[in-house]
Amino acid sequence: MFVTGAELGHTIYAARFDTDDLVHRLGTAAMMLAAAMAVQIPAALEDGSAGFAAAYVCARTVLLLLYLGVRFTISEARGVTGLHLTGFGIGVVLWAISILIPPPARFALWALGLAIDFATPWIGRYAGVLRRFPLDTSHLPARFGLFTIIVLGETLLGVVSGMSKVDWRAGSVATAVLAFEVAMCIWWIYFTFVEEAPFLCNLGSGQSYIYIHLPIVIGVVVIAIGMKYAIIEASRPTLASDTLLLTGAGIVLWISAFLALLVASVQRLPLARAAAVYAAAITATVLVIALGAFLPPPLTLDGICLVFLALVLVDEYSWTYGRDTLLPDWRQGGARED
């Protein structure tokens, strides 16, 4: 998730200052290399934490250099670049100091650095700094869509990883297939929204849209871990309680965050109906997880899959109906206040 923070920072930078020139591409490549290094460091929260922090510092330093370059080339953006250089710079310093300090104090510095990183844009928003050089919100759904599909790959990786550790029996294969179907339902629901966003959404400043993606991404990652252990435990009479709780927590978080995304973004959203649908999905998920203590793993995954299939059907109908009846506002400009 810390690598997610680095990629998120670059996504926001690109939405505001994307020049697609040589410097921007080299900076992007350097950040991708640093992020890849961080992913490959084993035990990032244990013995590899110092190396992980160093890779994160490298990625964020590249981002600071990109902002510094903009500061010297676009005079109108100095307020925005000054804000990010200060806030993100403090965060980088805290992460750099953490390399020299052993755990658990190291992790406390990580948390403080991330808190400052996340707070910086909000401070700029309410101070009026970011309003002078707003994000190009028309690109946010596409950019975050690409980012989200990368994270969804974690779910598929969890399916592959789980199958590599079990015998290919009927229960294991059935559980793996159902886990894959859950991932596909998440993909279907989210990217239907991305496709329809230009017609039905007004993203305003983009702040809410950006920050709501954090619990969305966390939810996907937690679901991926739960699916992996569900496949490993598929030959048991029932899933372990920890696996059930982890899977259920990830699903509830994702559904709640996606509803928040709809509420924050969609023009004229029928709030009562949307809340009822997603509350029903959360209730059904909790019920399936509770019954999972008594059901074979494939049946538990089947129940989860049915919840997501129902959301797919409801969302398909809702978007089709909404696109035909609601006025496109986002493409017409006039960003609203968050």
Give residues with Cβ within 8 angstroms of 20, minimum separation 6.
none
Residue whose tokens read 């290399």:
33
CA distance 120 to 118: 6
pLDDT classification of 283: cutoffs 50, 70, 90: very high
Compute CA distances 162 → 154, 168, 236, 279, 301, whole Å: 12, 11, 14, 30, 14
pLDDT confidence of residue 32: 64
For the chain, give the percent of residues with pLDDT over 90. 23
Q: In the chain, what's the furthest Cα-to-Cα distance?
A: 65
Using a 10 angstrom Cβ sphere, with 0-12 exposed, 13-18 middle and 19 or more buried, the burial of residue 139 is middle
CA distance 129 to 149: 32
Summarize the confidence of residues 102-112 as an average pLDDT: 89
pLDDT confidence of residue 303: 94
> Highest-confidence range of 14-28, 165-179, 183-197, by mean pLDDT?
183-197
Summarize the confidence of residues 145-156 as an average pLDDT: 69
Q: Which residue has the higher pLDDT, 168 or 182?
A: 182
Summarize the confidence of residues 74-100 as an average pLDDT: 89
CA distance 231 to 244: 12
* pLDDT of 200 over the 50 cut: yes
* pLDDT of 265 over the 50 cut: yes
pLDDT confidence of residue 175: 82
pLDDT confidence of residue 287: 96
CA distance 111 to 66: 24
Residue whose tokens read 């797919």:
312
> Highest-confidence range of 13-17, 153-157, 229-233, 314-318, by mean pLDDT?
229-233
pLDDT confidence of residue 6: 56
CB-based contact 336:209 (threshold 8 Å): no
Mark out the alpha helices in 74-139 (DSSP H runs).
78-98, 105-127
Summarize the confidence of residues 299-327 as an average pLDDT: 77
CA distance 307 to 336: 34
Residue whose tokens read 């809340």:
275
